[in-house]
Amino acid sequence: MEAVDTQPVETIDFAPLEKVLKKFAGKKGAVIPLLQETQKIYGFLPREALLRIAEATNTEASHIYGVATFYSQFRLKPVGKHIIRVCHGTACHVGGAERITEACEEHLGVADGETTEDRQFTLESVACLGCCSLAPVMMIDDTTYGRLTDREAKKVLTHFKK
Amino acid sequence: MVNPQNGKVKILVGMGSCGIAAGAADVYHALENKIEIENLDIELEKTACIGACYREPLVEVRVPGLPAVIYGDITVKRIRDIFEKHIQNKEIISEWLLKGDNLQTSEDELFRKQVRIVLRNAGQINPERIEDYVARDGYKAIRRVLMEMKPEDVINEIKASGIRGRGGAGFPTGLKWQFARQSQSNEKYIICNGDEGDPGAFMDRSVMEGDPHSVLEGMMIGGYAIGAKEGVIYVRAEYPLAIQHLETAIRQAKKKGFLGKRILGTSFSFDISLKLGAGAFVCGEETALIASVEGKRGMPRLRPPFPAAQGLWNKPTNINNVETYANVPWIILNGSDAFARLGTEKSKGTKVFALAGKIKRGGMVEVPMGMPLRDVIFEIGGGIKNDREFKAVQLGGPSGGCVPASLLDTPVDYESLNQTGAIMGSGGMVVMDDRTCMVDVAKFFLHFTQEESCGKCTFCRLGTKRMLEILERITEGKGEEGDIEKLELLAENIKKNSLCGLGQTAPNPVLTTLKYFREEYEAHIHYKKCPAKSCRELITYRVIPDNCTGCMVCLRACPVNAITGAKKEIHRIDPETCTRCGACYDSCRFDAIEILTGEEEEVAGEIA
């Protein structure tokens, strides 16, 4: 995991974050939901937001950073407008998930884990989306596409871009 | 079953995650439109997973005077036929028929051999309507518990049923409840583990999506039994529909007085909240899960103290899996005897399995414990896709193992499955055929556990990494003499020196494949050959000149333009450019592409 410091500093709008902080004020064990909602606002966890959360919850920044880097859901880098998650669960793996990732890489011109230059798409591999009987599958934002072939995957992407 | 209240035609659409991914939402909206535009007197309803995922989207049609039938592979285009042929002309469309009351179909076995306790409401109710659950005896069990039973009675009943934890380890549920009951504290917790992380498993998702109230009711009964007032459901963030249905269910249960203060007018109060997991497989381990609920890094700790003594916020806590809780209301209503009559001596009741991989009928099934694997895979699951050869079934995900064909008669019960080196696990069954490389499967799971290791124990953190490196070398044709022995040594030490279940079981996929498919490892290492013809570094694709018609299909399918040739000219694959993706092999309709490995490859190279 890359250190937060190496990222370009982006100025963020704190107003929505303050609302979230207020919602969870005084609640115990709220760090993870707080980070989840913060990520919903910004698409990732900006350094400034993490520092603000640490301050507001009276927690060490290192603790917040520790939680943020432990869970795979959290991102410390900005992502594209749409997130493509190619499932690499067992059923998808034996069903050819690798080829689906390759097809997406080829179509988008980025490697797995990267974001397209126009910041439209981020390509990710995920462990299991739980749609095993439709393997191989991928998810774009909240929509799942199943029974894919490399061609089908490219078709979905082309269609989605429109 | 026609709607008994009004004798109307009723149409149900399976709208679980799998159904929606297969296009069920489009089908539902098209039906909705048609009914509205033509002002038809038809009841349209959403339900969740019906279980036959391989035929999604599924639509059930209930017409008065006709048997209720379930159609599979329904597309928007096919809706017209359902209306014209089935509803108007009262003809059953045999082409798409999956199942019908008193009708024989080729796929009957899928349902006939199942015993549905956990899935009792799957595909029967609209999970977003509490009335549907109540109409099928929902919340009757909590009523009985609160009105007629003391907490000790409940625990005794659960103990007598013999039910064991459905999350994988199989600890007796009643005993777990008793320990939590015996811990003295004015604050206790009930946790439902819905962090279904095993790749290849989706039973808990289906239950949470399809029958969320059964989970809530099971938790409430558990709460009453151990003396807890608060419950937490820890559910994966990757399951948006399950989260939505659980949220709706909690809201409705509160409104109806099943959750909250003084439930059903008694002195029992109970509340349930959701916590969303943030993507860490290790949080399926109970102490890690508790750390995560508390907002920390989800790292396991040493037990004892067990959660029953010191769990969430250091208070006595009982953790069970989704499926375990979903069983509880049924046991209370039908009695522990009815439950204990099902299954084997030590494994009572039923088990839900998610069938996936190279199986014909992938989906969700529930079978009595003790059924042989062969029956589950070949009778219920219909056998192997494209009638290829069965090679192995993977049970228990990254903690489990691969069971070979020679052990297909192993009954599904905790002890018998443990003996094979696999485990019952949470219920994922991924079927593999002769094209699946077992070394690659082992590598796949090691890659997974290596990434998901929380890093606390050295052997788990570094040992899995070293094992993965060896497996990677083997599949790349760089295996060396002594690699197998190194894998075994590492496996033994990782098992011995890891704190939690993740590390203790991480080597299982390697150990079971070594046990049953050792020759496959040896072929990779000594002969640089992948018998399943799957490992890319060890195979070559070649056109069989005698079969090639020069149709250009493979040429167009190739993503890297490695195939040359013109129309009606025998094509050629350039091995230098070829990435071994297999697109040509899959697209060829004349069996004109072959895959070579090991020595065959060298011979072919000499010819070319």
From A67, A72, A96, residue closest to B296, measured CB to CB: A67
Å between B4 CA and nearest CA of chain A: 34
CB contact at 8 A, A153 and A100? yes
pLDDT at res. B604: 57
Per DSSP, what are the bridge partners of residue B70?
B60, B99
Please write the tens of the pLDDT for every residue from B202-251.
999 999 999 999 999 999 999 999 999 999 999 998 898 999 999 999 99
pLDDT band, residue B601 (cuts 50/70/90):
low
pLDDT at res. A6: 47
Residue B353 in this model has a pLDDT that exceeds 70? yes
Å between B386 CA and nearest CA of chain A: 13
pLDDT band, residue B608 (cuts 50/70/90):
very low
DSSP assignment of B349-381 equals: SEEEEEEEESBSS-EEEEEETT-BHHIIIIIIS
Task: Please give the structure tokens belonging to residue B213.
Answer: 């109230």
Task: Please give the structure tokens belonging to residue B435.
Answer: 């094209």
What does pTM read for this prediction? Answer: 0.93
Average confidence (pLDDT) over B343-372: 96
Please write the tens of the pLDDT for every residue from B458-512.
999 999 999 999 999 999 999 999 999 999 999 999 999 999 999 999 999 999 9
Task: Please give the structure tokens belonging to residue B7.
Answer: 């004798």
pLDDT at res. A9: 52
Residue B313 in this model has a pLDDT that exceeds 90? yes
From A70, A127, A142, residue closest to B448, measured CB to CB: A127
Element (H, E) at B138: none
B363-368 sheet: strands from edge to edge: B363-368, B350-357, B428-433, B390-395, B401-404
Most B CBs within 10 Å, among A131, A144, A159, to test the B interface: A131
Please write the tens of the pLDDT for every residue from B128-161.
999 999 999 999 999 999 999 999 999 999 999 9
pLDDT band, residue B6 (cuts 50/70/90):
low
Q: Do A146 and B21 touch (CB under 8 A)?
A: yes
- Counting one residue from chain A and one from chain B, the pairs whose CB atoms sit within 8 A come to 151
Angle of CA points B147, B176, B197, to nearest 5°: 110
Which residue in A has a C-alpha nearest to residue B296's C-alpha?
A67
Average confidence (pLDDT) over B72-101: 94
pLDDT at res. B238: 86
Task: Please give the structure tokens belonging to residue A89.
Answer: 């669960």
Q: Do B356 and A90 touch (CB under 8 A)?
A: yes
Per DSSP, what are the bridge partners of residue B10?
B43, B62
CA dihedral B232, B236, B237, B240 (to 10 degrees): -90
pLDDT band, residue B2 (cuts 50/70/90):
very low
From B444, B582, B583, residue closest to A93, measured CB to CB: B444
Q: Looking at this protein, which amino acid is placed at residue B38?
A: E
From B21, B198, B236, residue closest to A145, measured CB to CB: B21
Average confidence (pLDDT) over A27-44: 94
pLDDT at res. B58: 96
Lowest mean pLDDT among A94-98, B260-264, B349-353, B365-369: A94-98
| Residue B258 to residues B141, B184, B222, Cα–Cα distance (Å) | 11, 26, 14
- B209 φψ region: left (φ > 0), alpha (ψ -120 to 50), beta (else): alpha
Helix, strand or coil, per DSSP, at residue B298 = coil
pLDDT band, residue B102 (cuts 50/70/90):
confident
Å between A35 CA and nearest CA of chain B: 10
pLDDT band, residue B387 (cuts 50/70/90):
very high
Residue B80 in this model has a pLDDT that exceeds 80? yes
pLDDT band, residue A128 (cuts 50/70/90):
confident
Residues 6+ apart with CB under 8 A from B388: B358, B433, B434, B435
> How far is residue B151 CA from its own chain's centroid?
33
Query: Helix count (H) and strand count (E) of chain B?
Result: 26, 18
Average confidence (pLDDT) over B43-48: 95
Average confidence (pLDDT) over A52-59: 95
Mean pLDDT of all residues belonging to chain A: 90
Most A CBs within 10 Å, among B202, B364, B429, to test the A interface: B202
pLDDT band, residue B602 (cuts 50/70/90):
low
